[in-house]
Structure 1
Amino acid sequence: MREQLRVTLHEAKSQLFQLGARAWRGDRVVITNAGKPYLDLLPHPDTPQARKPGRLKGKIRMSADFDRTPVDVTDGFEGRL
């Protein structure tokens, strides 16, 4: 089971190597400052994820008049209001 670990900035400075190892094992490491979440410690992936063109095909719709600017907006930009 993955664990969420909260540590202060001071603790993170003195235990960075161990915290990094835990992040690589899958634990979520949250570094706090004044009792509030400040940073998340995350492992750096070796290779970037491959782009998948077309993955949103059919999920995005645009209205037929998306490129028409309303007259009041045009008038506002041209100083006619």
Structure 2
Amino acid sequence: MLRKKIDRSIREKVVEAHASGLPMRKIAMEFGVSLSSVSRIVNEKGQRDKITNKEKTERQKKILQLERKVAELEKKIFEAASKKRSWWK
């Protein structure tokens, strides 16, 4: 099955949009190409690995922040429960 030829200018815009951090789904909708085409174009240009590594570190930072927050809340719950138990004794 033949696929529609994607213009060079659109390819360049797709790569630029991805490099700026725009999600592939939004890029596909914005330029009227399929998600798989966006993925293929980005992979051909080698941009995906650079962005993926950046996203992983950002995700890891967010996870660490959430883990700290959970630990802090668990500590507060434990302290409140122990105060309540000591009050009843």
Q: Name whichever structure is richer in helix by fraction.
A: 2
Query: TM-score w.r.t. structure 1 length?
Result: 0.28
Calculate the TM-score normalised by the size of structure 2: 0.26
Between Structure 1 and Structure 2, which shows a larger proportion of strand residues?
Answer: 1
